[in-house]
Amino acid sequence: MLSRVAERIYWLSRYLERAEDTSRLILVRHNVILDLPRSVQPDWELLLNVLGARESFDARPGAATEKNIMSYVFSERENPSSIMTSLASARENMRTSREVLPSETWERVNSLYLSVARRANKGLPRASRHGVLNGIVQSTQQISGMLAGTMNQDETYQFLRMGRNLERADMTTRIIDVASLALANPEEDVSPYQNVMWVSVLQSLSAYQMYRLSVRHNVRPADVLQFLLRNRDFPRALSHCLLELEASMRLLPRGNEALKAVQSVHRKIKRTNCAELEGQALEKFLDHVQLRLQGVHEVIEQTWFTPEQ
Amino acid sequence: MADSSAAIKAPSPYKRARPGIDWSAYDPGAFYDEIISSPGNARAAARGLVSYTRKMSIKHLLSRQQAADLAIQEMGISFTVYSDGENIDRAWPMDILPRIIPLKEWKVLEQGLVQRQVALNKFIDDLYNKQRILKDKVLPREIIDSSPEFLEQCIGAKPRYGVWSHVCGSDLVRDADGTMYVLEDNLRVPSGVSYMLENRAVSKRVLPQLFEKHFIQPVDDYPSQLFDTLASLSPRPGDQPEIVVMTPGVFNSAYFEHAYLAQRMGAELVEGSDLVVGDDDKVYMRTIRGLERVDVIYRRINDDFLDPEVFRPNSILGTPGLFRAWRKGNVGIANAPGAGVADDKVIYTYVPAIIKYYLDEDPIIPNVPSYLCVDKKHCDHVLKNLENMVVKPANESGGYGMLIGPASTRKQREEFAARIRKNPRNYMAQPALSLSTAPTLCGNSIQPRHLDLRPFILQGKRHYVTAGGLTRVALRKGSLVVNSSQGGGSKDTWIVDTEAG
């Protein structure tokens, strides 16, 4: 398999997952803010921090209003991590590797991109926000389902699987970040709503039901973290994503270095006591995990996409 | 041009539909028609088609055409056109009524095509080595000196079997008296063969009954023949050769074909950046297993862009060092760099002389009479008769930059005349031929439309000629322009054995 094709498939998968998870992430913030008492000034800028879009947003003209921030994370083409940019990049990667992917999936990706592009200038007003974002989540889920259900599970598929799981692992840490940053925010005293917020995080990851099935008592922050970080069975939990990465790497040639990198992140997570992860410790931990995941990406790139002479 | 009364109209819904297609109403006028010899009478090889459609209403035939259009969409057969700053994938236009050539006639054409390719390859090999043909003054040296397609870097190269153009597409046209002529040779990167194969797949789907009536020569073995031709160029014979198809990328208008051929041959489809030339002057491709040696490159990218070390230094489509690896014999490249020198439209006029010189034979398929504008006498003749001439630039393909005299305005002719006077070496002209026609579904009637034929000829260790080729048809009434980028369509081409059961 050509490195270029592998790289495009991997990025196609990452961008699709990114579009889905960014939608989920905006939904968490949206739901939390709806629950806040009216006396509290909602802080939308937090979204920019979590999505790593702070600097690029500040560099552009226009104030940090809810409307501006929403269009920036949803449809701004200049924003390298907006949903629009992710879908455009997914589509471009797919367009140039169509010959190895089932053709119906190309049609789905293309029409998802076109439907988002069509409403790009409308922004994301509160009235339609839930419907639009949920629609994106559903479409991307449908695309992953088609890929999983109609493709040879060969080397090509392993690159899809790696892209999806690495991006998902990263985005799960960012969605947890939304909650932890909100709790640490002095402007917005949300401690009375702590449980509500963690429920909202679980729901945005479609994890609430699975959490209740596997954790037999009330929603408590440490248990939620334990579930989202260390559960091996829930597909959006960090541990599960890392196990999936490991499985793919074992099926690919020359996967040793990459495997070691993933296993080391995994050990780090297993060693962490979730009960101690509160406030700044949690933020620091999540930042660290994000950096380590970036490291895994770099090894993947060196191993399969840019082989040395 | 064709009389409009020649059209066979669909029955109006208020009258009782006539049972079948009435071929006596079809009249191509003065043109040679490939299917109908005189009103109501089929040519021998086309009798099956004509008698079959006599029992078919036009409505029924149109529904078959719709089924074909649908199949083309489903199979994803497309070509890319660049317009308004965007690349658009268009469904491939195919008319379901086939173009039919009797096997007996085809056998002769086949020999003529091979003769041409053999002679042209000897010619290219001679130009880059001993240059006997120039020393013997059969061809004036100035023509080569002024040819932008003659690559000095290739002087002294000796590709295997002395073959430079391994895949050739020669365009054939038939004049009013039934004579087939070679209109031009495409020795660089001829395209269209995938559409020939797909057209056949579609006809088999929508007109299966006809395949029982006619004994039609199959075309499906082209990809394996191409594979064998390419494999015979491998520098490591005996091994399983690693063959790649090199494409300029997804934006190229023939990308569909590049992907198609790679798939059918089981070869990798690569872009320039996927290849790397090592310090050992061998070519490798970057794969997830690391670097893997490449033996043969079927390149679908022009000479200019092939290797920025030797040709256009700013090319990002090519691979640095490719030329060096080829010169050292470490990789086979088809078609070889520099092969384009022989499909210059000025060289074309010398092909009969070239055949005579290298093979001591007369050409089996004649050239269209041609006038070189570089020759003062010819040039005057062309300028005086522009109205009846087709003028072509020496080095363009795809039907661009041409003047079609009979269809031109006075202003266009004046502009063209100025261009010819400015740079006569760059132009050649041919009298506008009365291209043959074949019945074509247009709207809801059958009308005569002009067509040409592009067979594909392979030369490596052995020869191979496709049974037929790609028939391109000008869909606009009276038009002679068959290029798909300019509104042309296509037909399946049947070589029919009239003597077999």
Nearest-CA distance from A304 to chain B in Å? Answer: 5
Within a domain: B483:
no
Whether residues B158 and B127 fall in one domain: yes
Average pLDDT of B476-496?
84
A256 touches chain B (CB under 8 A): no
pLDDT of residue B9: 63
Residues of B in contact with A3 (CB under 8 A): 274, 286-288
Q: Is the pLDDT of residue B100 over 90?
A: yes
Residues of B in contact with A304 (CB under 8 A): 288
With residue B465 as reference, give the H or E element that holds it: strand B463-465
By CA distance, what is B87's nearest residue in A?
A: A95
Which of B273, B278, B291 lies nearest to residue A4, judging by beta carbons? Answer: B273
Chain-chain contact of A2 with B285 (C-beta, under 8 angstroms): yes
pLDDT in tens, A18-39: 999 999 999 988 988 888 777 7
Within a domain: B79:
no
Nearest-CA distance from B273 to chain A in Å? Answer: 9
A269 touches chain B (CB under 8 A): no
Chain-chain contact of A3 with B76 (C-beta, under 8 angstroms): no
Number of domains in chain A: 1
Residue (of B44, B8, B4, B77) closest to B439 by Cα position: B8
Whether residues B147 and B276 fall in one domain: yes
Chain-chain contact of B274 with A96 (C-beta, under 8 angstroms): no
Whether residues B168 and B191 fall in one domain: yes
Which of B250, B288, B291 lies nearest to residue A1, judging by beta carbons? Answer: B288
**pTM score:** 0.81
Q: Is the pLDDT of residue B422 over 80?
A: yes
Chain-chain contact of B288 with A6 (C-beta, under 8 angstroms): yes
Within a domain: B456:
no
Chain-chain contact of A307 with B274 (C-beta, under 8 angstroms): no
Residue where a domain stops, chosen among B409, B431, B453: B431
Q: Give residue B14's Cα distance to chain centre.
A: 45
Check residues B97 and A178 and name the one with the higher pLDDT: B97
Whether residues B162 and B189 fall in one domain: yes
pLDDT in tens, B432-456: 888 999 999 998 899 999 999 999 9
pLDDT of residue B479: 81
pLDDT of residue B10: 59
pLDDT in tens, B28-60: 888 999 999 999 999 999 999 999 999 889 999
Residues of B in contact with A306 (CB under 8 A): 286
Contact B89/B80 with Cβ under 8 angstroms? yes
Q: Which domain holds residue A280?
A: 3-305
Average pLDDT of B125-130?
97
Q: Is the pLDDT of residue B188 over 80?
A: yes
- What residues form DSSP beta bridges with B201? none
pLDDT in tens, B379-418: 898 899 898 898 888 766 555 678 888 888 899 899 889 9
pLDDT of residue A189: 66
With residue A23 as reference, give the H or E element that holds it: helix A3-35
Q: Is the pLDDT of residue B67 over 50?
A: yes
Nearest-CA distance from A257 to chain B in Å? Answer: 14
Which of A4, A99, A253 lies nearest to residue B271, judging by beta carbons? Answer: A4
Chain-chain contact of A309 with B289 (C-beta, under 8 angstroms): no
Within a domain: B37:
no
Q: Residues of chain A whose pLDDT is less than 70?
A: 185-191, 307-309
Q: What is the CATH number of the domain that holds B420?
A: 3.30.1490.270
Whether residues B392 and B333 fall in one domain: no
**Best mutation target, B288, B289, B294, to test chain A (most A CBs within 10 A):** B288
Q: Is the pLDDT of residue B15 over 80?
A: no
Within a domain: B68:
no
What's chain B's average pLDDT?
Answer: 89
Query: Nearest-5° angle of CA B235, CA B237, CA B242?
Result: 70
Within a domain: B352:
yes
CA max distance for chain A: 63
Chain-chain contact of B269 with A103 (C-beta, under 8 angstroms): no
Q: Which domain holds residue B299?
A: 104-197+218-359
- In residues, how long is chain B? 501
How many C-beta neighbours within 10 Å does residue B195 have?
26
Residue where a domain stops, chosen among B339, B359, B379: B359
Chain-chain contact of B291 with A252 (C-beta, under 8 angstroms): no
A251 touches chain B (CB under 8 A): no
Chain-chain contact of B287 with A307 (C-beta, under 8 angstroms): yes
pLDDT of residue B87: 62
Residue B150 to residue B286: CA distance in whole angstroms: 32
- CA torsion through residues B2, B3, B6, B10, sign: positive
> DSSP string spanning B10-61?
PPPTTSPPPSS--GGG---TTSPBSSEEETTEE-GGGHHHHHHHHTS-HHHH
Average pLDDT of B126-141?
96
Count of A-B CB contacts under 8 Å: 44
Residues within 8 A of B (CB atoms), A 217-236 only: none
Whether residues B190 and B287 fall in one domain: yes
Whether residues B354 and B377 fall in one domain: no
**Best mutation target, B271, B281, B286, to test chain A (most A CBs within 10 A):** B286
Q: Is the pLDDT of residue B1 over 50?
A: no
Whether residues B257 and B398 fall in one domain: no
* C-alpha neighbours within 13 Å on the C-beta side of residue B224: 3
Q: What is the CATH number of the domain that holds B189?
A: 3.40.50.11290
pLDDT of residue B82: 64
Average pLDDT of B168-196?
94
Strand, coil or helix: what is A291? helix
Whether residues B418 and B275 fall in one domain: no
Q: Rg for chain B (alpha carbons), in Å?
A: 23
Chain-chain contact of B289 with A254 (C-beta, under 8 angstroms): yes
Whether residues B152 and B243 fall in one domain: yes
Whether residues B270 and B174 fall in one domain: yes
User: Is residue B307 packed enough to be buried (19+ CB in 10 Å), middle (13-18) or exposed (0-12)?
Assistant: buried
A253 touches chain B (CB under 8 A): yes
Whether residues B319 and B386 fall in one domain: no
pLDDT of residue B400: 66
pLDDT in tens, B279-301: 999 999 999 999 999 999 999 99
Within a domain: B119:
yes
Residues of A in contact with B73 (CB under 8 A): none
With residue A184 as reference, give the H or E element that holds it: helix A155-184
By CA distance, what is B282's nearest residue in A?
A: A309
**Best mutation target, A4, A114, A154, to test chain B (most B CBs within 10 A):** A4
A6 touches chain B (CB under 8 A): yes
Number of domains in chain B: 2
A44 touches chain B (CB under 8 A): no
pLDDT in tens, B353-387: 999 999 999 999 999 988 888 888 888 988 998 98
Residue where a domain stops, chosen among B335, B359, B383: B359
pLDDT of residue B3: 47
Average pLDDT of B53-70?
92
